[in-house]
Structure 1
């Protein structure tokens, strides 16, 4: 029963964030800022703390990772405020007010208070807006972040706990669902890094996320190449970071999303049964996620499953290209001709 509840709540979270992305004012910009905040904090933490600090034994890098990992709320609040048009100094006022807060509370504080700050900047005289930022905006930002923290802990982190416990009791089902969902989210504006960070995934579920994302590099590269969705640069780019080609993906959701779900599910199933773990939350990204795995597992095992993930990704991408070879895809060249994207 817990397994079903966790899966349904995870899907509900994705639906809510998808609606926010496409319907809220500046929703896509804000979600992009959330993803960037995860990169700026959790990815820096993962590389430096777990690889540089624990694998290589460099104390300085370990301390750097710890420092970066504790700034999720600050980065989310500041980058989100900047994304919706707040001037840099006031965006950093909002960010500083969210010190010690987690990623999602900081994100919503930056989004909500960011609009208040924009109004203040526009209608309040110069100098007075600075006083307003210090006396009103900063305290409100922190109050919002603090108020949302228990909500996040009792919802998203609870879902993460359910997923982690369900992975132990029913690894096959959870490996399929988690692997499929994370690879699809990785190609969407939501960001797989942000999702796994918000859920607080560690252990086997995070290993599924990281290795499925690594597999998706080969899958999306093959799919883009075979369907000629973009040029060589676009193909390389989508292999390194799927979000970099969000415009092409959004124009071709059916072939890209279906291929990613099937391929990600296959990858997730294999990793769920592999015994691999990953205790660096928020590292569901192709290259970095794979490298971080060396910090928690025997290197020969990681390399072996890395090869398996590459094979699964390549085959999945090839099968997707075969299934959708007659599908009316929209290529990057066609999008440029229509003025729907930049060259």
Structure 2
């Protein structure tokens, strides 16, 4: 029952953010900004705190990573405002107003308050718009972030706790579910980094997520190369960071999502059997996820596990390209050509 509840709650969260991406005003831009906020905060934290600080032992880098991780709310609010067309000064002002807040509270505050700031910029006379933003918008942004925080803790972090408990009792089953879902999320408009950070995943669940993403890099290279989704540059970009190809993935969801789910689920089983952990939340990304794993586990075990997951990715990529060989593929020139015509 716990497995069913945890999986259902996770799917509800994914559905919510997917609907938000496609249906909310500027939803896709806002979700892109959320992913970028995870990069500028959690990715810096992962590299500098856990690698530079903990593994290498450079305290300066460790402090840098710690501070960067604590700026997630600031980054989210500021980048979302920028993405929605707010001026850089006011965007950063909203970000500063969300200091010491988490990634998701900063995201919601930035998204909601951006519409108000744009009205202030448009309607208020020159000079008064600054006062209006300082007096009205900044406190309101802080208020929204503070009020949203308990809801986030009560829902997303609760889901993360359930996933952690389930993984302890049924590691292989959760390896299948979590490995499959996270790799699909990594290729969707959502961000695997943002999702794992929002859920507060650590330990084996985070280890499954991180290594499954590494395995999916091999899978996506083979799949994109054999099905000719785009140029070699596009294929390499998809391998390193799938978010850069979100428009192309959205145009071809079935072959990409199905193949990634299967490959991610199989990789999740392997990681669960190896028992690899990752206590750096939010590091579900190819490069950081791979490197950070060496800081929490035996290097030999990590290397063997990653190599196995890489082979699984290659095999699943080959199988996916065969299964979907006659599937109608919307290629890069069609997707981006339409965007240029619309522009």
TM-score normalised to structure 2 length: 0.98
Shift of 1:301: 1.3
CA contact (8 A) 2:274 2:301 kept: no
Q: Secondary structure at the match of 2:43?
A: helix
Q: Quick check: 1:73 aligned with 2:108?
A: no
Distance 1:28 1:200 in 2: 23
Q: Quick check: 1:284 aligned with 2:279?
A: no
CA contact (8 A) 1:247 1:341 kept: no
Distance 1:341 1:288 in 2: 37
Give CA deviations for 1:217-240 in whole Å, capped at 9, x if unaligned: 000000001101111111111110
1:45 alignment partner in structure 2: 45
Distance 1:148 1:331 in 2: 40
Give CA deviations for 1:43-95 in whole Å, capped at 9, x if unaligned: 10010011111111111110100110100100000000100010011111110
Distance 1:103 1:130 in 2: 26
Q: 1:271 to 1:36 in 2, by over 3 A?
A: same
1:101 alignment partner in structure 2: 101
Residue segments in structure 2 that go unaligned for 5+ positions in a row: none
2:2 alignment partner in structure 1: 2
Residue segments in structure 1 that go unaligned for 5+ positions in a row: none
Distance 2:115 2:333 in 1: 37
Distance 1:77 1:246 in 2: 22
Distance 1:95 1:226 in 2: 43
Shift of 1:337: 4.8
2:36 alignment partner in structure 1: 36
Q: Quick check: 1:258 aligned with 2:272?
A: no
2:231 alignment partner in structure 1: 231
1:24 alignment partner in structure 2: 24
TM-score normalised to structure 1 length: 0.98
Shift of 1:339: 4.9
2:320 alignment partner in structure 1: 320
Shift of 1:336: 4.5
Distance 2:239 2:341 in 1: 20
CA contact (8 A) 1:188 1:246 kept: yes
2:274 alignment partner in structure 1: 274
Q: 1:337 to 1:35 in 2, by over 3 A?
A: closer
Q: Quick check: 1:112 aligned with 2:108?
A: no
Q: Quick check: 1:174 aligned with 2:174?
A: yes
Q: Quick check: 1:158 aligned with 2:158?
A: yes
Corresponding pairs, count: 342
Q: 1:296 to 1:227 in 2, by over 3 A?
A: same
Distance 1:297 1:27 in 2: 38
2:82 alignment partner in structure 1: 82
Q: Secondary structure at the match of 1:281?
A: coil
* Cα RMSD (Å): 1.2
Distance 1:82 1:331 in 2: 30
CA contact (8 A) 1:335 1:341 kept: no
Distance 2:194 2:29 in 1: 14
Q: Secondary structure at the match of 2:276?
A: coil
Alignment of 1:161-240 (within 5 A): 161-240=161-240
Shift of 1:333: 2.9
Give CA deviations for 1:211-259 in whole Å, capped at 9, x if unaligned: 0000010000000011011111111111101111112111111000000
Q: 1:121 to 1:336 in 2, by over 3 A?
A: closer
Distance 2:93 2:80 in 1: 12
Give CA deviations for 1:110-161 in whole Å, capped at 9, x if unaligned: 0001110000000011111111111111110011000000000000000000
Distance 2:154 2:98 in 1: 20
